């Protein structure tokens, strides 16, 4: 098969975006993401950084233009800057963007190196600006450390986008203060509906769920929101706040299925390729990777996996039940 042919799934969607989880470990234990006492993978099961380099490079050769590094918390993996330096060689040579999603705890330490590797923007998960509530939701995190990391990234010339999970009864009262803070700092802001992933218990999921249709309606009571035509191929729908000029995104896997334009797949730190965040089907890329120094079998396995990419996920909440739930924790596939 021609190695130059782009990756096209069964629904004629080009696959140009790879999210790669480099570790399942994290220095936080956010209540909607993982259990407090997680059983992490044995280190021997993880791909080496050199193996992750081979796999990501194979995807770039097949037409992936955007690479997002995730975790767990990607910056807690030992020697992770070596991986970023290796991936930076593809920028301008197939790869348009190298970026990451982080909890911000290690950004003060690594922001300068990330910028030197060509990282121009970063997504930081931040659900509250209240230090006590931050410690509650993250279990182990310190808000001050994250804010210092965000400031360091900004100083290094990295644009920061804040990702906030909408949690009923937790950050509802901070809706406008979060918005004002982001406007003052020059950060874009994206709200995300909590997703039914991991064995957290249905009651907890239903208690946490705050529909973004309601959140957006609350914003509209005070602000003028103009829908933007901008599409990144990702799940967010964007609006501009006319009063401040800032951009707000809404990721709504439950109140609005965003799958029709999905251009992404997710690679785990053990070499599993998930074609959909909300489905259990996956492909093993570790076996062909380790069976041969030739990348042709890996590229063939990637192409075969893309033929199984589904039309969409089945996430759904009703008043009494969480449907479409998947058993793995969000940290396993990196969100």
Binding residue per annotation — 259?
Answer: yes
Binding residue per annotation — 32?
Answer: yes
Report residue 202: phi and psi, to 5°.
-60, -40
Binding residue per annotation — 34?
Answer: no
- Sheet with 237-241, edge to edge strand ranges: 225-227, 237-241, 247-251, 188-193, 159-166, 121-125, 97-102, 66-70, 17-21, 264-267, 272-274, 282-284
Beta bridge partner(s), residue 328: none
Binding residue per annotation — 276?
Answer: yes
Binding residue per annotation — 88?
Answer: no
Binding residue per annotation — 20?
Answer: no
Binding residue per annotation — 269?
Answer: no
Binding residue per annotation — 195?
Answer: yes
Binding residue per annotation — 182?
Answer: no
Those residues whose C-beta lies under 8 Å from the C-beta of residue 325, and which sit 6 or more positions away, are 196, 197, 202, 205, 315
Residues in the chain: 335
Binding residue per annotation — 209?
Answer: no
125-129: Cβ within 8 A, 24+ apart: 125/30, 125/101, 125/163, 125/164, 125/165, 126/150, 126/162, 126/163, 126/164, 127/30, 127/164, 127/165, 127/167, 127/170, 127/171, 128/170, 128/171, 128/174, 128/178, 129/174, 129/177, 129/178, 129/181
Binding residue per annotation — 266?
Answer: yes
Binding residue per annotation — 70?
Answer: no
Binding residue per annotation — 101?
Answer: yes
Binding residue per annotation — 319?
Answer: no
- Cβ of 12: how many Cβ atoms within 10 Å? 6
Q: What residues form the annotated binding site for GTP?
A: 19, 68, 101, 161, 264-266
Q: What residues form the annotated binding site for S-adenosyl-L-methionine?
A: 32, 72, 125, 195
Q: What residues form the annotated binding site for [4Fe-4S] cluster?
A: 26, 30, 33, 259, 262, 276
Q: What residues form the annotated binding site?
A: 19, 26, 30, 32-33, 68, 72, 101, 125, 161, 195, 259, 262, 264-266, 276
């Amino acid at each position: 098969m021609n190695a130059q042919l782009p990756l096209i799934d069964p629904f004629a969607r080009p696959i140009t975006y790879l999210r790669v989880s480099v570790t399942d470990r994290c220095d936080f234990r956010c209540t909607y993401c993982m259990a407090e006492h997680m059983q992490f993978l044995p280190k021997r099961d993880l791909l080496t950084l050199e193996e992750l380099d081979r796999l990501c490079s194979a995807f770039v050769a097949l037409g992936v233009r955007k690479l997002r590094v995730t975790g767990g918390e990607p910056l807690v993996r030992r020697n992770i800057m070596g991986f970023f330096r290796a991936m930076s060689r593809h920028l301008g040579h197939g790869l348009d963007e190298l970026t990451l999603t982080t909890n911000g705890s290690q950004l003060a330490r690594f922001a300068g190196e990330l910028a030197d590797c060509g990282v121009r923007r970063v997504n930081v998960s931040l659900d509250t600006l209240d230090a006590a509530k931050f410690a509650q939701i993250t279990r182990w995190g310190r808000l001050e450390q994250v804010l210092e990391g965000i400031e360091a990234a900004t100083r290094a010339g990295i644009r920061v986008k804040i990702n906030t999970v909408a949690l009923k009864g937790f950050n509802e009262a901070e809706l406008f203060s979060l918005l004002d803070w982001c406007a003052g700092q020059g950060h874009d802001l994206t709200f995300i509906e909590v997703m039914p992933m991991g064995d957290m218990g249905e009651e907890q999921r239903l208690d946490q769920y705050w529909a973004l249709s309601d959140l957006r309606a609350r914003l509209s009571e005070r602000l003028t929101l103009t829908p933007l035509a901008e599409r990144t191929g990702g799940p967010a729908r964007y609006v501009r706040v006319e009063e401040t000029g800032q951009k707000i995104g809404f990721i709504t896997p439950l109140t609005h299925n965003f799958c029709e334009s999905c251009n992404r797949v997710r690679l785990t730190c053990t070499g599993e390729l998930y074609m959909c965040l909300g489905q259990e089907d996956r492909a093993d890329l570790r076996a062909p990777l380790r069976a041969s120094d030739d990348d042709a079998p890996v590229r063939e396995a990637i192409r075969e996996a893309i033929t199984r990419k589904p039309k969409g996920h089945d996430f759904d909440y009703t008043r009494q039940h969480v449907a479409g739930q998947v058993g793995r924790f969000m940290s396993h596939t990196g969100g």
